[in-house]
Amino acid sequence: MKLNPNVLDCAAAPIAEAWSWVEDPASPNLIDMCQAVPAHLPPQSLRDYLGDAIKAGEGATYTDIRGIPALRAALAGNISERYQGSVDEADVLITAGCNQAFCSVIDTLCQAGDEVIVPLPCYFNHQMWLSARAVTPRYLSFDAETAMPDPDEARALINARTRAILLVTPNNPSGAIYSPECIEAFFELAREHGLALIVDETYRDFIDIEQLPHRLFARADWRDTFVHLYSFSKVFSLTGFRTGAVVAGQPLLEQLKKIQDCTAICAPHAGQLAALYGLQNLHDWKLEKSDELAQRAIAIRRAFANPDLKYRLVSAGAYFAYLQHPFDASARDVVRRLIQQHEIVCLPGSYFGQQQEQFIRLAYANVHESRFEDVIARLIASQ
């Protein structure tokens, strides 16, 4: 049979390739900094609640296409409080994870041949979906000093085929947390040109609670331009339950419902119950985990201050640290050597778009800070 060339052209999912370089996956010496997965299970109370609910017969049916109303209302309340803004139940559509949210938003906004502005480095699944849908990414260059994208550079790329600007903050892979001013400048640009500003905030619960991620939800006109993507995967350790959300205005959500109906029909019901339980009961647990990660970010910055290290920490936050390696070699070759000779499993920057050969991503959230000195010693040994 003939296969879709747009899918054939897509790069394969990278995590599996990195693991294929690991000679002994059972080695106790291995330090796994490869994939961004929470290092802990959801709390016992959530597992007990869900177990009882499923035994009682809940969760086995479809829900409304948009998701369980109580969950949509709870997420709207959570966002309104966290962002000091105004979000209603009607603005929320629950998806089968944030990846599906992104795919559905792109399908609702773009035809083949349309363009989306994407800062480098970028999340590989975003790039893969754009490629599969024949939507052209127009990349913004990576500033390895600030790790922030530049709205003026984006302005120069806008043309009649541009449909959206896509940001990920806190960023995967760089860990950079974009400033509210930076996000708001992109919003203004998108608004001026009638584009969507899509912001994937999968890691937003790992920003300091005192810090406002941005003020977009406080604007009366946010629904005309802003599309917020969210994930319950990391915040409540629910990666396997596949639950996320799109938060946007009615014109987009009304059309997106058609895509949702054809693909997932609804987000997994059990995942929605788990997410609702989390929003209603796990506020303190969430803060505790977020604080642990904040301490880990401080510890990784401290560890990288080692003067003997020739790898440079470009940025770190939420789950990730992005490193500039010191070699005149491709990122893949450097990572393969780190995996095979030093047993640090990580990902080459080249998986995150062009111009990333000099960089490496460490998903440090998976590793307790007591092991960071060992990571640094291994990196020094690799120099």
Instruction: Please report whether residue 231 would count as binding ligand PLP according to CB under 6 A.
Output: yes
Angstrom CA distances, 282 to 95, 224, 274, 318, stand at: 21, 32, 11, 19
How many Cβ atoms sit within 10 Å of the Cβ of residue 82? 17
CB 106 within 8 A of CB 116: yes
Would you say 108 or 376 has its CB closer to ligand PLP? 108
Query: Which span sits near ligand PLP by CB under 6 A: 92-100, 249-257, 290-298, 374-382?
Result: 92-100
Instruction: Please report whether residue 239 would count as binding ligand PLP according to CB under 6 A.
Output: yes
- Residues 200, 206, 278, 376: which binds ligand PLP (CB under 6 A)? 200
CB 235 within 8 A of CB 205: yes
Q: Give the tokens for residue 61.
A: 């049916």
Residues 93-122 that bind ligand PLP (CB under 6 A): 97-99
The residues, ordered by sequence, that sit 6+ positions from 158 with a Cβ below 8 Å of its Cβ are: 117, 189, 193, 195
Q: How far is the CB of 35 from ligand PLP (least distance, A)?
A: 7
Residue (of 340, 381, 373, 335) closest to 25 by Cα position: 340
- Residues 233, 237, 272, 358: which binds ligand PLP (CB under 6 A)? 233
- Alpha-carbon distance 26 to 16, whole Å? 16
Instruction: Please report whether residue 170 would count as binding ligand PLP according to CB under 6 A.
Output: no
- CA gyration radius, the chain: 21
Would you say 128 or 376 has its CB closer to ligand PLP? 128
- Alpha-carbon distance 187 to 164, whole Å? 10
Instruction: Please report whether residue 172 would count as binding ligand PLP according to CB under 6 A.
Output: yes
**Size of residue set near ligand PLP by CB under 6 A:** 13
Q: How far is the CB of 271 from ligand PLP (least distance, A)?
A: 10
Residue nearest to ligand PLP (CB): 97
CA 14: distance to chain centroid? 15
Residue 58 DSSP label: T
Query: Which span sits near ligand PLP by CB under 6 A: 66-74, 138-146, 231-239, 335-343?
Result: 231-239
Indicate the pairing of strand 115-119 with strand 92-95. unpaired
Instruction: Please report whether residue 237 would count as binding ligand PLP according to CB under 6 A.
Output: no
Instruction: Please report whether residue 151 would count as binding ligand PLP according to CB under 6 A.
Output: no
Give just the sign of the alpha carbon dihedral 279, 283, 289, 295: positive
Contact code string over 24-63 relative to ligand PLP, x by CB under 6 A: ------------x---------------------------
Binding site for ligand PLP (CB under 6 A): 36, 97-99, 123, 168, 172, 200, 202, 231, 233, 239, 244
